[in-house]
Amino acid sequence: MDVKALIIILMSSVLVDNYVLNRFLGICPFLGVSKKVNQSVGMGAAVIFVMLVATAVTWPIQTFILNPLNMGYMQTIAFILIIATLVQFIEIFLKKVIPALHKSLGVYLPLITTNCAVLGVTINNITDGYNFLESMISSLGVGLGFLLAMVLFSGMRSRIEESEVPESFKGLPVTLVAASFISMAFFGFAGIVENILA
Amino acid sequence: MSKQNNMSILLKGLLRENPVFVLILGTCPTLATTSTVDGALGMGLATMAVLICSNIVISLLRKFIPDTVRIPCYIVVIAGFVTIVQMLIQAFIPDLYKTLGVYLALITVNCIILGRAEMFAGKNSVGKSALDGIGMGIGFTIALLSMSIIREVIGTGSFAGNEISFLVENGLTIGFLAKAPGGLLVYGLLIAVVNKITKGKLIKKKEFSCAGCPSAEACNGSCAEAVKEGE
């Protein structure tokens, strides 16, 4: 296994192809739950966790069940059901077995059920033709990228809360404009992987 | 049901309850597919097709689906229609299939569709649900089109792939509008404009909240809890 290839996948999914800021997946929780830093960290951690588990389950299902049976077209239906069930299961499991973790992540778990970033990353892993290890690394990278964007953005939002905003821009509009600036900052990372690592 | 009533169901999706600018649902495809007019139109129509079909089927099944498992049932119906639309587009409009890519599959988790199933189709008759689907679908398509026209014309100096020569020759294009940050910026500005025109009457909730989220009921208010905790 080529370690360098894995690092490239990780770095590009964290910085260059950031799901929230570049591909707009998972923008709802990004806008909804990013008011405070600790909240953003909780949500980010929950997303990383669910993405890893979801990939670990959906990749084998696609490779060993759907593909041999020529049922690739069932991908969307199968994946969304698996993710929804999985999230519910994880919640019940954590509540019973690791209550401490459930307390910190539990509230965020149901929000992830219909999060398009989770479905998106599992589908993209298949479309990009990654093997199992590469898929896991890419999911980890996407999750880390989500966490990074959330935390940076929550810092920005606490500044907005304190500033005078024109009436029409109050609430969501100014938040979106701020998100646009962060997205612009991430644009600076374009090409970083090709130029530094490869 | 009176005629007037049906008309208002159809029309409310256009402005009063526009899914994109007022209900703030389906933000992901709104931002991701509006860099070109073609992509936006394709996305709008594909979503509309799924929305109408799923609204009709869910409304037909509303008496058979047990209340406790309704969300998973809705999701299966929606995912089924998304797959059908996906296969049709792949077969007949391969170019569009390539442009939209993963976002086609992600229509499944578009809040607009689950939201309308939960808020409307699960409670109303077939005819009304179909009208609601058509209205919301048109509202969504118009919103995507207006965003994509701004982004493509100013961003790349073309309209639906046809170059507008005086914009390009005089260097009047602002390239970043067609890229990711431009999407967020244009969306924010458009919501502000809608706010200004309606003097904030339409968007009563100034903050992004869980009240508008269709999965709010499914998550048993834990979303509201999470948001509250952060405040």
Which tens digit of pLDDT belongs to each residue from B177-216? 888 888 889 988 988 888 888 766 655 544 444 444 544 4
pTM over 0.95: no
Tell if the CB–CB gap between A180 and B27 is shorter than 8 Å: no
Token pair recorded at residue A154: 């929550």
pLDDT at B2 over 60: no
Asked if the structure places residue A197 within a domain, the reply is no
Tell if the CB–CB gap between B208 and A115 is shorter than 8 Å: no
The dihedral region occupied by A66, where left means phi > 0, alpha psi between -120 and 50, and beta the remainder, is: alpha
Asked if the structure places residue A198 within a domain, the reply is no
Higher pLDDT, B55 or A161: B55
Kindly indicate the confidence band of residue B218, based on its pLDDT and cuts at 50, 70 and 90. very low
Please check whether residue B210 is in contact with residue A35, taking contact to mean a CB–CB distance below 8 angstroms.
no
Judging contacts by C-beta atoms under 8 Å, the chain A residues touching residue B207 are: 171-172
Tell if the CB–CB gap between B192 and A73 is shorter than 8 Å: no
Give the number of A-B residue pairs with CB atoms closer than 8 Å: 171
Query: Strand ranges (DSSP E) for chain A?
Result: none
Mutate to test the interface with A, among B102, B189, B209, B225 (most CBs of A within 10 A): B102
| Average pLDDT taken over every residue of chain A | 84
Give the integer Cα–Cα distance in Å for A130 and A23: 19
Asked if the structure places residue A24 within a domain, the reply is yes
pLDDT at B16 over 90: no
Give the integer Cα–Cα distance in Å for A10 and A8: 5
**Bridge partners of residue B163, in order along the sequence:** B158
Please check whether residue B148 is in contact with residue B34, taking contact to mean a CB–CB distance below 8 angstroms.
yes
Instruction: Work out how many domains chain A is built from and give that number.
Output: 1
Judging contacts by C-beta atoms under 8 Å, the chain A residues touching residue B109 are: 80, 114-116, 119
Give the integer Cα–Cα distance in Å for A168 and A135: 43
Domain ranges for chain B, please list them. 3-202
pLDDT at A25 over 90: no
Residue-level pLDDT at B141: 93
Query: Looking at residues A153-174, what average pLDDT do you find?
Result: 85
Asked if the structure places residue A80 within a domain, the reply is yes
Nearest CA in chain A to B73: A81
Give the integer Cα–Cα distance in Å for B101 and A129: 15
pLDDT at A61 over 50: yes
Query: Looking at residues B68-88, what average pLDDT do you find?
Result: 88
Residue range(s) defining the domain that contains residue A17: 3-189
Query: Looking at residues B14-21, what average pLDDT do you find?
Result: 79
- Tens of pLDDT along B20-74? 887 777 788 888 888 888 889 999 999 999 999 999 999 999 888 888 788 888 8
Helix A132-162 crosses helix A3-11 at what angle (to 10 degrees)?
30
Question: Of A134, A138, A101, A93, which is closest to residue A117 (Cα–Cα)?
Answer: A138
pLDDT at B3 over 70: no
Q: Is B102 on the interface with A (CB under 8 A)?
A: yes
Asked if the structure places residue A195 within a domain, the reply is no
pLDDT at B221 over 60: no
pLDDT at B229 over 50: no
Kindly indicate the confidence band of residue A12, based on its pLDDT and cuts at 50, 70 and 90. confident
pLDDT at B4 over 70: no
Question: Of A139, A117, A113, A128, which is closest to residue A13 (Cα–Cα)?
Answer: A139
Give the integer Cα–Cα distance in Å for B113 and B129: 12
Q: Is B225 on the interface with A (CB under 8 A)?
A: yes
Provide the Cα torsion B220, B223, B224, B225; round to 10°.
90
Highest mean pLDDT (candidates A104-108, B77-81, B188-192, B202-206): B77-81
Nearest CA in chain A to B209: A32
